[in-house]
Structure 1
Amino acid sequence: MSVVRKINNYRRNIMRSLTKNVGKPTMQDDFILVDKSEIKKVLICRPNGRLGNLLLITPLVQEVAEMFPNCKIDLFVKGTLAPIIFENYDVIDKTIHLPKKPFKSLVEYSKVWISLKKTPYDLAINVDQNSSSGRLAVQFSNAKYKFFGDSGEEDIERKSDFEHIAKYPVYNFRNYLSKLRLPTNSNKIIAPLDLKLTSSEIADGRKKLSEITKNDKKTICIFTYATGPKCLSEEWWEKFYSQLVTEYKNYNIIEILPVENVSQIGFKAPTFYSKDIREIGSVIANADLFIGADSGIMHLSSAVHTPTIGLFSVSNMKKYEPYDNCSTAIDVNLCTKKEYIKTINSILNNGRLDIYSRAI
């Protein structure tokens, strides 16, 4: 582990220790929310700038928007990706950005926190109960109702998919609302990740994909990169890619390249490269299957509703696996060649659910 990572881990542990009791106990136990229309201004706090983590809050945003149809939402985040990801969410009023490097932007950093205090909110929500900054943001906000992200009750964890990082914030939020005596459907299916691509974006993605393939065959997209230990070796990918080429001669196999412009298969497949998240998403949205390791691009594939196979080697599958639309996760430490092919065939044979219509 690098020195920088050790320092960051040490810092996080200290902050979690200092903030774990923020919001506990709460004086809001006697609050009752009688009228949903009372909630008009909501703050959702996820002070993280990574692509995957921001996409993973889209189910919660959809839940809040559905529960409070008259509300507008401000997002408290880090970095500049959120406006791109939530570009087509009408419910989002504005995004409040923490600078990526606060110690180099202390004045801007302070102004952002002060703005939370100045803006009156009806409801403030922390997405991740383990986020120190998220808990502090809710505590610091000027909101009548404050939800710090805790489950509150042990029985909520009995749900089979509770551990998933996109789902447990929704379950926890529903539990919080029930304490406010607001009727909720605890068994309702959690919404999928959603980038909300437009029909014109889908059409542009289809055109770009056609320019690469120059044929009418169906397409399998692969993403061979991931950060740190999540990145599978070149040897692993070379072998896997050879299997794909052999088994799926009637499919195009396209590699989506990371911003680093590297390939674990030595650029043997036709490639697509872009730094535009929505453009990458529009291309993947026109594919019939996406295969890649746990990464932001894997979650992007889920968010454009392409059937996705997540390849896991070290990450917690139950926490990060792609879901919905025939998507699944595979533990590469346990899976055999036959099992890979069986999983891929099962998805390809069932076909994709075209939430994004390609008949434009």
Structure 2
Amino acid sequence: MGMFGKINVFRRSLMRNLTKNIGKARSQEDIILVDKNDIKKILICRPNGRLGNLLLITPLVQEVTEIFPNCKVDLFVKGTLAPIIFENYDNIDKIIDLPKKPFKNLLKYLNVWISIKKQNYDIAINVDQNSSSGRLAVQFSNAKYKFFGDANEETQLVKNDYEHIAKYPVYNFRNYLTKLRFPKRNKIIAPLDLKLTSSEITEGKRILNDLFHNEKRTICIFTYATGEKCLSEEWWGRFYTQLKEEYKNYNIIEILPVENVSQIAFKAPTFYSKDIREIGSVIANADLFIGADSGIMHLASAVQTPTIGLFSVSKIKKYEPYDNSSIGIDVKLYTKKDYIKIINFILNDGKIKTYSKAI
């Protein structure tokens, strides 16, 4: 790790230690929320600019707007992707974005914090309890009700999917609402959702038709990932050869990353775009997506395409794709036969949650 990397790690550790107790002394056990229709404006804080992390808050946004259908939601994020991801969310009002490099954009950075202070929110929500900026934003806001994202030990014990990064913010917020005298909520947590329009999906189908000119079903692969999450060219070479042999009646397309690289040396037909929604529209027309833990893997899940996430270093329970027969796989534990069984199970509309290696 370079010097700047070490400094960044130290900075994050310092900020977490400084902010971890923000909100801990605040007790709202005796506050009674009279009418949920009084909640008109909510702030959700996730100051992160990565594609995957922004997609992973879509279940919480859906939860909030379902409970408070008359509210408008402001998002406190980082970078420029949020307006693209949430453009079809009717309840989203403002996107408040921190610059990716605050010291190079100091004036904008300060104006963002001032804008939060100026607004009168009914509820401010920090998505991740370990986010120092998120906790600070909630504390800094003028919200009447402030939720700092803290975990609930009881929920952790009873929910076997609590570790998932898209789900525990929802469980934690539900627990917070019970302190405001809301009834306990046990509804299944919503999937990730990009909310593609019908015209976007139709355009994705046109793109695939122009590439293949046939009526075959399609399998998408994404061979790239950042850092240690990226599987080797050797691994992908073997896997792609196996995929071609087993699924000759399918079109196989490689979705390329923004870096325009391929772990299979561009041997498959490819699709390249810098438009997140266009990439999503193409994947939405596929029958299966296979790729390592990455933002594009979460994008595939968010357009409701059955997704196989390939994990080698990340925590599966925290990041695996879910819903729509999706599954996370530890590549160190699975054999060639296991992959084929899982793929067949999904392509034949099986319920992946009942799958086991004993099938």
TM-score tier, shorter chain, comes to over 0.9
Structure 1 residue 24 and structure 2 residue 24: aligned? yes
Task: Give the aligned residue type for 1:129.
Answer: Q
Question: SS of the counterpart of 2:348?
Answer: helix
Could you tell me whether the CA contact under 8 Å between 1:298 and 1:310 is conserved in 2?
A: yes
Matched pairs, number:
351
| Counterpart for residue 78 of structure 1 | 78
The residue aligned with 2:92 is 92
The answer on whether the counterparts of 1:288 and 1:351 sit within 8 Å (CA) in structure 2 is no
Which letter maps to 1:86? F
Q: Deviations over 1:142-178 (max 9, x none)?
A: 1000000012x31110210000000000000000000
Q: 1:266, 1:351 → 2: CA distance?
A: 32
d(CA) in 2 for partners of 1:213 and 1:132? 48
Alignment of 1:116-127 (within 5 A): 116-127=116-127
2-structure distance, mates of 1:86, 1:112: 19
TM-score calculated relative to the size of structure 1: 0.96
Q: CA deviation at 1:351?
A: 6.7
Tell me, yes or no, if the aligned pair for 2:126 and 2:138 is still in contact at 8 Å.
yes
**Are 1:46 and 2:46 counterparts?**
yes
1:289 and 1:250 map into 2 onto residues whose CA distance is 14
Partner of 1:317: 316
Residue identity matched to 1:134: G
Matched, 1:230 2:211: no
* Distance in 2 (alpha carbons) for counterparts of 1:6 and 1:53: 22
> Cα deviations across residues 185-225 of structure 1 (Å, max 9, x unaligned)?
1x210000000000000000000011111211000000000
Matches within 5 A, 1:1-360: 1-151=1-151, 153-158=152-157, 159-185=159-185, 187-350=186-349
1:62-98 CA distance string (max 9 Å, x none): 0000000110000000001000000000010110010
Contact map agreement 1:49 1:80 (CA 8 A) in 2: yes
User: What is the alpha-carbon distance in structure 2 between the residues aligned to residue 10 and residue 267 of structure 1?
Assistant: 40
Give the AA of the match of 1:178: T
Deviations 1:104-142 (A, max 9, x none): 011110000011100100000000011000000000011
Post-superposition offset of 1:34: 1.7
Contact 2:307 2:325 in 1 (8 A): yes
CA contact (8 A) 2:316 2:328 kept: yes
- Matched position secondary structure for 1:279: helix
SS of 1:120's equivalent in the other structure is coil
The range that moved more, 61-70 or 207-216, is 207-216
Q: Unaligned 5+ residue runs, structure 1?
A: 353-360
Amino acid at match of 1:131: S
TM superposition score normalised by structure 2: 0.96
Asked if the contact 1:54–1:82 (Cα under 8 Å) also holds between the matched residues in 2, the reply is yes
1:300-344 CA distances to partner (integer Å, 9 max, x unpaired)? 000000000000000000000000000001100111111011111
CA distance in 2, matches of 1:328, 1:178: 32
Partner secondary structure for residue 29 of structure 1: coil
* Deviation at residue 233 of structure 1 after TM alignment: 0.4
Look up the SS of the partner of 2:23 in the other structure. Answer: coil
State the SS of the aligned residue for 2:211. Answer: helix
Residues 149 and 169 in structure 1, CA contact (< 8 A), matched pair in contact too: yes
The Cα offsets for residues 30-63 of structure 1, whole Å up to 9 and x where unpaired, read as 2111210111000000000000000000000000
CA contact (8 A) 2:120 2:143 kept: yes
Deviation at 1:29, TM superposition (A): 2.9
Which amino acid letter does the alignment assign opposite residue 104 of structure 1? K
The 3-state SS of whatever aligns with 1:350 is coil
RMSD between aligned residues = 1.2
The residue number in structure 1 matching 2:356 is none
Return the alpha-carbon distance in structure 2 between the equivalents of residues 214 and 248 of structure 1: 17
Check whether the contact 1:194–1:304 (CA below 8 A) recurs between aligned residues: yes
| AA in 1 matched with 2:98 | L
Structure 2, unpaired ranges of 5+: 352-359
Amino acid at match of 1:166: A
Equivalent residues of 2:28, 2:179 under 8 A apart: no
Instruction: Say which SS state the counterpart of residue 110 (structure 1) adopts.
Output: helix
Residues in 2 aligned to 1:286 and 1:309: alpha-carbon distance in whole angstroms? 16
Alpha-carbon distance in 1 for matches of 2:296, 2:184: 32
1:184 to partner: Cα distance:
3.2
Q: State percent identity of aligned pairs.
A: 78
Q: Which AA in structure 2 matches 1:41?
A: K
Q: 1:224 to 1:87 in 2, by over 3 A?
A: same
CA contact (8 A) 1:34 1:182 kept: no
Amino acid at match of 2:137: A
- The Cα of 1:248 is off from its aligned counterpart by 0.4
| Counterpart AA for 2:193 | D
